[in-house]
Amino acid sequence: MYTFVKLGGSVITDKAGREAPDRPVIARLAAELAAARRASPGLRLILGHGSGSFGHHYAARYGVHRGLAPGSDYTGFALTAAAALRLNRIVVDTLLEAGVPALALQPSAALQAAGGRIAAWETGPIAEALDRGLAPVVHGDVAFDRLQGSAIISTEALLAHLALATPLRPARIVLVGEAAVYTADPRVNPGAERVPLITAANLDTVLRGAGGSHAVDVTGGMRSKLELMWRLIEALPDLEVRLIGPDPGNLAAVLAGEPVDVGTTIRLR
């Protein structure tokens, strides 16, 4: 079985800035991933990351996520892709420096969308990379879209496709981003409480309190991510999803299976 890890764009960049990578956080998370691989040599990781203050700025400016009409200027499409790749290069180089054999695999080079959703994606190289002991790295990216011209495919959508449409079924998904899911937005409501566990019993209540992102994000906010993860859990009942913040040691502890009381766990029951 596989473990999918997503490093959120709000974690590895300052999303309120402009192409502002948080290199110390990226380096620390890379070191924790390397330590997890050393501790568990059989750990098979598929890594993904958001675009943060890199790709989202251009996508929003040029409306790539809404679709580009026939005959449109696709320069914004290219600028968005290039920005996402610049961040990807930073992430992958940092992983390699930490000892993780990371291999960048650009989704838009092998993926086609229809109506903003993945219609086809050649994922063979991801499986080949895993068979050779590498850690494939994908990222939120642009896509040519059969129906609307262009689209943005989020990292979560990429991981969901791998989980549901390929043999690369994950036993767990770890999303490193917000510290947890809360009963309300903790930035504006000091009484908001962490939700340590989401199951079918409290899902509807949690979704009502989930909000959007707090910076430019063309892939949706917390609610859309929760809804997507829940659809995965319904399809893969044994799947466990962990949402954690980037505090030191969190990622390493979760990957090691330590019973740490951080973040939010999502499972069927």
Chain segment 224-263, per-residue pLDDT in tens: 889 999 999 999 999 999 999 999 999 999 999 998 999 9
Provide, rounded to the nearest whole percent, the portion of the chain with pLDDT above 70.
96
The confidence score (pLDDT) of residue 80 equals: 96
User: 169: exposed, middle or buried (C-beta count within 10 Å: 0-12, 13-18, 19+)?
Assistant: middle
* Number of domains comprising the chain: 1
The confidence score (pLDDT) of residue 210 equals: 75
Distance CA 100, CA 133 (A): 10
The confidence score (pLDDT) of residue 215 equals: 46
Chain segment 205-216, per-residue pLDDT in tens: 998 877 644 444
Give the mean pLDDT of 161-167.
97
The confidence score (pLDDT) of residue 211 equals: 60
For the ranges 15-29, 91-105, 208-222, which has the lowest average pLDDT? 208-222
The whole domain housing 70 covers 2-266
Give the mean pLDDT of 157-184.
95
Q: Specify the CATH number for the domain of residue 158.
A: 3.40.1160.10
The confidence score (pLDDT) of residue 220 equals: 55
Kindly report the backbone phi and psi dihedral angles of residue 258, in degrees, each rounded to the nearest multiple of 5, phi listed first.
Answer: -75, 145
Distance CA 90, CA 86 (A): 7
With cut-offs at 50, 70 and 90, classify the pLDDT of residue 13: very high
The confidence score (pLDDT) of residue 236 equals: 96
Chain segment 32-71, per-residue pLDDT in tens: 999 999 999 999 999 999 999 998 888 889 999 999 988 8
Chain segment 182-206, per-residue pLDDT in tens: 988 888 888 889 999 999 999 999 9
The C-alpha angle with vertex 268 and arms to 264 and 269, in degrees rounded to 5, equals: 85
Q: Which H or E run includes 137?
A: strand 135-139
- Compute CA 233 distance to the chain's CA centroid, rounded to the nearest angstrom: 16
Indicate if the pLDDT at residue 217 is higher than 70. no
